[in-house]
Amino acid sequence: MNLSKAIQHLEALAAGMPVDEAQAAAFRHWVFNEATSAELEQLAAAHESLLMAAGGALAYDSAIAHNILNNLQAFRDTEAEGLIEQETPVVPMRSRRNYWWGAAAVLFLILGAGAIWFMRQEKSSPAPRVAAQPLQPGGNKALLTLANGQQIQLDQAATGQLASAAGVHVVKLDSGLIAYQGNSDLVEYHQLSTPRGGQFRITLPDGTGVWLNSVSSLRFPNTFTGSSREVELSGEAYFEVAQQPGQPFIVKAGAVKVQVLGTSFDLMAYEDEAAIRTTVLTGAVSVQAEKAATTLGPGTQARLSMDNSTAFTISRPNVEEIIAWKNGQFWFGKTNIRSIMRQLTRWYDMQVVYQGNVENIYFEGVLSKKGTAAELLDAIAATGEVHFKITGSTVTVIPGKE
């Protein structure tokens, strides 16, 4: 098999065409043993295009997802460069710099192939709908509050300059991105807030990019002066920090303070979650609390429990799962249904009640945030572990099949 035939294999899956085991085996062998990093990147790009064209809510086969997520975790824990268990293939040696990203792309790619397959299976035997008029997905919505109290609904604002004060201009670009332009000696604080069903992206005055998740707020100055760049976060955001040696970037979120010079990381500090979570993608950060401190490198996460704030718990999570929200997905790696529903309520602006014991109900899979609430709940209900009833904007979660 070569790149062209590998892409044809994915296209066949996406079209719902029958693919025999020999073809699937040849595809896996080529991916794990013969494909170069450049070919894997092209294959991943082709796969992404297929998923975007498919639309709707995608749900991965749980057995495939469980196997691959375990393989990914084992790979990270051992930092192996030789083996990834998928029918015990031998992976050719490559440079450490390119191999990790290639391996991650391969695993995500295979998950994606499973998603296409599972989606087609669902279409051939659809599960009963859980609501006739489903709640609609969220979008790019945010409110910007200026120092003088002026409020701007950013999703409704026209392209161009939105506000100006002391030489600093707030501008909405053609892409919809909000940016700050100009310099000032007068420091004023602004706040960007997203509602339920909203998320937004902004470029701060220093060039740092911030993706703000639903039900979150970011307080920041119109210009960064002094020895540090400090912002305050409530909720969740992904940061790509502009490097400015000698002026560290500091994020305060609840009991945690994260300090960096230039890196990308995700910080989750919702009040209704059990812990504050800091996950580093590139670079390094120091994380501090009142009675604890640690330093994180790429691919590591620090959790500070609300029940025990005297120590951080360090782990190596699936970073693709952590930032899936930014990329238009819900990614669940053996996630409890309560945690899943907390995420869904932020995106669909709905209320959730529970009927019966759901503590031992977990779900593995990836769902598109473009789908309606009913489509996503249908995909979860298809596992047979739980079903849902929707009354207005209230969703009742009930164990077992309907």
Q: In CATH, what number is assigned to the domain containing residue 394?
A: 3.55.50.30
What is the total count of domains within the chain? 3
Residue range(s) defining the domain that contains residue 342: 326-399
Give yes or no for a contact between 238 and 227, defined as CB atoms under 8 angstroms apart.
Answer: no
Q: In what order do the strands lie in the sheet with 386-391?
A: 351-354, 394-399, 386-391
Residues 1-16 pLDDT 10s? 888 888 888 777 766 6
Mean pLDDT on 375-397: 90
Residues 278-336 pLDDT 10s? 999 999 999 999 888 999 999 999 999 988 778 899 999 999 899 999 988 998 888 99
| Distance in angstroms (rounded) separating the CA atoms of residues 364 and 61 | 8
> Pick from 298, 320, 342: which residue ends a domain?
320
Tokens of 391: 């009354």
One domain, residues 106 and 200:
no
One domain, residues 315 and 335:
no
Which regions of 67-226 does DSSP assign to beta strands (E)? 139-140, 143-145, 151-153, 160-165, 168-172, 178-182, 189-194, 198-203, 209-212, 216-221
pTM of this prediction?
Answer: 0.69
One domain, residues 146 and 120:
no
| Distance in angstroms (rounded) separating the CA atoms of residues 222 and 244 | 17
Q: 350 Cβ partners below 8 Å, 6+ apart? A: 135, 344, 373, 393, 394, 395
One domain, residues 31 and 120:
yes
One domain, residues 118 and 192:
no
State residue 248's pLDDT score.
Answer: 94
In a domain, 132, yes or no: no
In a domain, 129, yes or no: no
Residues 346-380 pLDDT 10s? 999 899 999 999 999 998 888 888 888 888 898 88
> Pick from 305, 320, 335: which residue ends a domain?
320
DSSP state of 223: S
